[in-house]
Amino acid sequence: MTNMTLKQLRYFEAVARHGHFGRAASACAISQPALSVQIRDLEEDLGAQLFERSARQIRLTQFGEDILSRVRGILSGVEELQDYARAARENPLSRLRLGIIPTIAPYLLPRIIGHLSARHAAIDLQVRETLTSRLIEELQARRIDAAIVALPISEPELAEVPLFDEDFVLVRPLADAGKPVPDGETLSRMRLLLLEEGHCFRDQALSFCSLQPGAPRDGLDGSSLTTLVQMVAAGIGVTLIPDMAVGVEAKGAAVDVARFARPVPRRSVGMVWRKASPLQESFAEIAETVREAAATER
């Protein structure tokens, strides 16, 4: 096994995670044929097949399943070693792999980039936008360094630092402007448009309306806040969006934006990272920069 490389192990892990050679190649920034060659070389070096290949799908062999956790442990250890090396250098913030959820990224990220560039001109910022569950998985697997999400996360191995609280607002058709703003109970009986399953913002909106996730309801789901607002403008229903999204999503749309009476639905936004990371002090510094960016006027 003298020819085995960390790069090959990363490619193997990526194919196992994505379940697809093409998607794994894209994630690893390599061509699919080149990745396939590396996987075949690894199989030859190990003397065993890692994947069962067919025209429609690939799956791990029993041997591949047996070694996957060990490979991930090796890669995690290498990432941890690199973190310690970064922490020992004069400039540990040379790279930041930051995850951020879709209901925050389009509205806060430009300000975050501006503030980080001013504070850390040489930082290599790599952004990953996806759902909370995936960010937590990638954080625990050391594929990202930190994430900006809605709190609480309640994972014992992760540190949580609150950044700010944010109100939700009601978006309704323009014809409803001036009407009383419904409370959560009234809203639950209206045609409420929500994000697709998996978005934490969906669950927070349902909680305000005292509705259980998965319960039958008269509403439609959208893939983004932009889609929801445009559906409202078309007269299909009403929706909730975070306050930070109003300036972008409601601008130019034929909708009315109304604020709720107390108790106002809201979320707590924070930053999370691994407690075991040697870069905790640097991440706390980044969190303060993000807090300052969020406090600036949009």
* Region 8-36 average pLDDT: 90
Helix 6-18 vs helix 32-46: crossing angle, to nearest 10: 110
Q: What does the pLDDT look like over 175-208, one tens digit per residue?
A: 999 999 999 999 988 999 999 988 999 999 989 9
CA atoms of 230 and 133, how far apart (whole Å): 27
Q: Does residue 91 surpass a pLDDT of 70? A: no
* Residue whose tokens read 């609150």: 162
pLDDT at 177: 93
- List the one residue out of 155, 117, 114, 112 whose CA is nearest residue 133: 155
User: Given this structure, which CATH class describes domain 89-164+267-295?
Assistant: alpha beta
Q: Give the pLDDT of residue 277.
A: 87
Q: Among 11-25, 82-96, 113-127, 165-179, which is the least confidently predicted range?
A: 82-96
For the domain made up of 166-266, give the CATH fold: D-Maltodextrin-Binding Protein; domain 2 (3.40.190)
Q: What would the 3-class secondary structure string for the chain be?
A: CCCCCHHHHHHHHHHHHHCCHHHHHHHCCCCHHHHHHHHHHHHHHHCCCCEEECCCCEEECHHHHHHHHHHHHHHHHHHHHHHHHHHHCCCHHHEEEEEECCCCHHHHHHHHHHHHHHHCCCCEEEEEECCHHHHHHHHHCCCCCEEEEEECCCCCCEEEEEEEEEEEEEEEEHHHCCCCCCCHHHHHCCCEEEECCCCHHHHHHHHHCCCCCCCCCCCCEECCHHHHHHHHHCCCCEEEEEHHHHHHHCCCCCEEEECCCCCCCEEEEEEEEECCCCCHHHHHHHHHHHHHHHHCCC
Supply the pLDDT for residue 264: 92
Residue ranges, comma separated, of all CATH 1.10.10.10 domains in the chain are 6-86
CA 75 – CA 286 distance, rounded (Å): 25
Res. 3: pLDDT tops 80 = no
Identify the CATH number of the domain defined by range 6-86: 1.10.10.10
pLDDT at 298: 56
Copy the structure tokens of residue 38.
């590396």
At residue 220, the pLDDT reads: 77
pLDDT at 163 over 80: yes
Residues of the chain with CATH 3.40.190.10: 89-164+267-295, 166-266
Confidence of residue 90 (pLDDT cuts 50, 70, 90): low
Residues 86 and 95: beta-carbon distance below 8 Å: yes
Q: State residue 164's pLDDT score.
A: 96
Mean pLDDT over 27-55 rounds to: 89
Per-residue pLDDT of 212-259, as tens digits, reads 776 555 667 899 999 999 999 999 999 999 999 999 999 989 999 999
pLDDT tens-digit readout, 133-153? 999 999 988 889 999 999 999
**pLDDT band for position 2 (50/70/90)?**
low
- Each as own residue / partner, the long-range contacts of residues 181-184 (CB below 8 Å, 24 or more positions apart, any chain) are 181/258, 181/259, 181/260, 181/261, 183/260, 183/261, 184/208, 184/209, 184/210, 184/265
